[in-house]
Amino acid sequence: MSRTHTLIRGTAILTITSFATRFMGFFYRIFLSHTFGEENVGLYQLIFPVYALGISLSCAGTELALSRCTAKENASGHPQKTLELLKTSLLFTFFLSCVIAICIQQNASFIACSFLHDPRCEELLVLLSYAFPFASIHSCICGYSLGLKQTKIPAISQLFEQAFRILFVFLLCYFQSMYHHTLSVSFAVAGLAAGEIVSSLYCIYSVRQSSTNSPEALLSFSAFTSCLRQLLSHALPLTANRVLLNILQSIEAVSIPVYLQSYGMTVSASLQIYGVLTGMALPCILFPSAITNAVSAMLLPAVAEIQEMKEQKKLRSIIIRITCSCIFLGCFCCLFLVISGQWIGTFLFKSTLAGSFILALAWICPFLYTNTVLLSMINGLGKTTYSFIVNFLSLCIRIAGVCLLIPVFGIRGYLGGLLFSQIFLFISCILKLSLYTRRF
């Protein structure tokens, strides 16, 4: 099968899977909002910056590095080396994630009060910490599979994670209701950990089954150190970028309710606004990004392989075609959401506020969807420093919108800053890729 066909086939599989999981997640969020209320959904969303930061520290950079290194070693005809890279990444990230989980458990009260500004998050953070070791296993095996351009394990594990998360929370709420016990949003966090446990077990089983033809040799210490050096040379810059960016995103996320209170809202009202924005409107806007996320996942190892093989005309053609396709998708989704956004918010979420947010956020679609793919191509080319700089500046614009505009204009000020940051990111990525392709 040709590289183009492999890319298209892999993207199609990941897109279908992502649409399926987002479709389930869409109605799951409706279930959460109806079961726990908008304020508790806001409380649930408040812990996700900590989750994102923990994932960034433990495995996000390693997953991308493993995908890139696996693609290059496989293209060079070293399949045994790819297995050594996988084993090394699993050992390293699992240990690191366990350390992070223990740190969160020991400092849950401090994080909840000092960082998230809500002591009710303490219990949620403790439950959340159990997800990290299993998420690291899931992440590494998916990165390894994508590096080999195999999408079966990432696709099915994604479905398992979402399905078991929803099923676990639904059954827990059902049995609690039967006995007239109080329903807590902590059930949703427990479901998050349950989904990661099931998906990681599936990943381990699948990768063992797929490598039955290979000898089950133990990883020697010299192989471990060699692979770790190779992975860290790529993973450390990516991890540093991810961590710093996630710290900024976390500051942005936890600051929104705080500055809404400076605007004149109560604590309850600010959490309600935050919950509607991040738990209802944004997931709706991000729903079509299933396509661009799938393209991004396949593009990074593909671009790395094309660069390794020095096929510059092929690289230029892929960049132009995929960029134009993403812009078209974003424009179509923007038009659709402008027409139907208010109806989606009112009919599905029973919230006119959600409809208003969807209308306001619709204008970022052409930039948001395209930026995901552009950044993946830039990372695939090894230009991680540039990717970090433009992401950093984009987040600074968003944080400025939170700190400077929300106290004056309310949540509309943040939405304006979000749009401007996406436009800035889009222009910066287009300029970088244009300059890169002109050299050949």
Give the per-residue pLDDT at 2: 55
Low-confidence ranges of the chain (pLDDT < 50): 213, 215
State which amino acid sits at residue 382: G
CA 63, 69, 74, 77 dihedral sign is negative
**Contact (CB, 8 A) for 161 and 28:** no
Give the per-residue pLDDT at 276: 83
Give the per-residue pLDDT at 424: 94
Q: What is the chain's length?
A: 440
Give the per-residue pLDDT at 315: 76
Instruction: Please give the model's pTM, rounded to 2 decimal places.
Output: 0.73
Pick from 341, 17, 359: nearest CA to 159: 17
- For residue range 312-357, what is the model confidence (pLDDT) as tens digits? 777 788 888 888 888 898 899 999 999 988 888 888 777 788 888 8
Question: For 224, how many CA atoms within 13 A lie in the half-sphere containing its CB?
Answer: 11
Rounded Cα distance between 50 and 433, Å, is 32
> Rounded to a whole number, what is the largest CA-CA distance in the chain?
69
Give the per-residue pLDDT at 133: 94
SS (H, E, C) 153-194: HHHHHHHHHHHHHHHHHHHHHHHHHHCCCCCCCHHHHHHHHH
Give the per-residue pLDDT at 439: 61
